[in-house]
Amino acid sequence: MTSPRTQFPFVRINPVRRTFRRSHVATAALAALALTTSFAVGAGGEKVAFPEGWDKGVMYGTVDRHDIKQYRELWSTPAAVAAVKAGKPIPHDTVLTLVQYKAVVDDKGVPVKDEKGRFKKGDLVAYTVMQKGKGWGGEYSDDVRNGEWEYQVFTADKKVNEKANLKSCFTCHKPHEKQDFVITLARLGGNAGAAAKPAPGVIAIADFLFGPEKHEAKVGQKITWTNVDDSPHQVTLVAADGKQGQRTGVMLKGQSETLTFDKPGTYGYICGLHPNMKGSIEVK
Ligand code: HEC
Ligand SMILES: [Cu+2]
């Protein structure tokens, strides 16, 4: 199959297009570019092969995803860990593998916890992989490109998941440009980050969970949410009838947002980015 990237130059030098007025040429070129970009995002994933031997690398972290009841392992290479620890760029040919498992649940569907209070590993669901290659990504426009990274998803039996939306990988990892698009970069370098400090009026967001999920407050009291996850989170108030109300800004790791409740009542809320994350404030 000819890849859209090799076709692209033909579109640009098409002699018919040259006879168009300047503005039309520009429009056609732009349209071709947009088309190429959307194709290329999927096509680029072909560069990423199944990460054979992933479990011989370094497991640099695990994630309990309370919102989707998953247990996840983060795997990397010793070279990448050493580079990040030394403050150097992640080397080319680095493969990061996020292995997703179902969390083991009890008969009520509640995740079972081990002696450390962490989720237990159930069935393997998928491998999501990102790989950095020298010169990769050059065909993408700046608003899409994730440096030199490409993404791919493999099923439990190690086959490419053709249904995976690889564009979404680029979109979600893009805001983490300052850390080379690696959301868990701090942990990759061996730095777990600050733990949540419980305090009155403070709700920690950790492991995709609002802690505590139910909070009591006095009328007029300030409530602060602090995000200690690598993932961004947000707070959106949801009325009893399901209508969404006031929302905070998106909190990156270490950031906080505050809301004040002026009337008594119970205020339900969700995370606008992960709607399965729920909490409530009872204002008296
Ligand atoms: C909704 C946002 C979102 C989307 C979409 C997304 N990711 Fe991620 N990704 C995350 C978060 C958050 C983490 C941190 C680990 C966690 O919380 O599970 C992560 C971590 C990873 C990691 C571990 C390295 C790192 O960056 O921390 C890999 C590999 C990865 N994602 C691959 C993918 C692939 C492949 C896709 C596309 C199929 C994808 N991701 C789509 C949010 C996203
Ligand atoms: Cu969230």
Domain ranges of the chain: 4-44, 48-188, 202-283
Closest protein CA for atom 26 of ligand 1: 182
CA angle 189, 192, 197 (to 5 degrees): 155
Residue with tokens 């989720």: 119
pLDDT band at 192 (very low <50, low <70, confident <90, very high): low
Ligand 2 centroid vs 251 CA: distance in angstroms? 9
- Average pLDDT of the chain, as a whole number: 85
**Residue 40's pLDDT is what?**
56
Which range among 71-80, 205-214, 269-278 shows the weakest confidence by mean pLDDT? Answer: 205-214
One CATH from 2.60.40.420, 3.10.580.10, 3.40.50.1950, 1.20.120.80 for 202-283: 2.60.40.420
**Residue 193's pLDDT is what?**
60
Ligand 2 centroid vs 236 CA: distance in angstroms? 10
90 lines ligand 1 (CB under 6 A): no
Ligand 2 centroid vs 205 CA: distance in angstroms? 8
> At residue 166, does pLDDT exceed 90?
yes
The model's pLDDT over 2-34, given as tens digits with 9 standing for 90+, comes to 344 333 333 333 333 333 344 444 444 444 444
74 lines ligand 1 (CB under 6 A): yes
129 lines ligand 1 (CB under 6 A): yes
**Residue 146's pLDDT is what?**
97
**Residue 42's pLDDT is what?**
61
**For the CA of 96, the nearest atom of ligand 1:** 29
What average pLDDT score do residues 51-60 get? 95
The answer to whether the CB of 255 falls within 8 A of the CB of 227 is yes
**Residue 41's pLDDT is what?**
63
**For the CA of 152, the nearest atom of ligand 1:** 35
Q: What is the CATH number of domain 48-188?
A: 3.50.70.20
Please name the residues in contact with 10: beta carbons below 8 A apart, sequence gap of 6 or more. none
Neighbour count for residue 254 (Cβ, 10 Å): 12
Which range among 10-24, 125-139, 209-223 shows the weakest confidence by mean pLDDT? Answer: 10-24
pLDDT band at 197 (very low <50, low <70, confident <90, very high): low
- Evaluated on CA atoms 42, 46, 52, 54, the torsion sign reads negative
Which range among 104-113, 172-181, 192-201, 221-230 shows the weakest confidence by mean pLDDT? Answer: 192-201
Closest protein CA for atom 24 of ligand 1: 182
**Residue scoring higher pLDDT (211 or 279):** 279
Q: Report how far apart, in Å, the C-alpha atoms of 213 and of each of 112, 136, 162, 280 are.
A: 18, 43, 37, 6
72 lines ligand 1 (CB under 6 A): yes
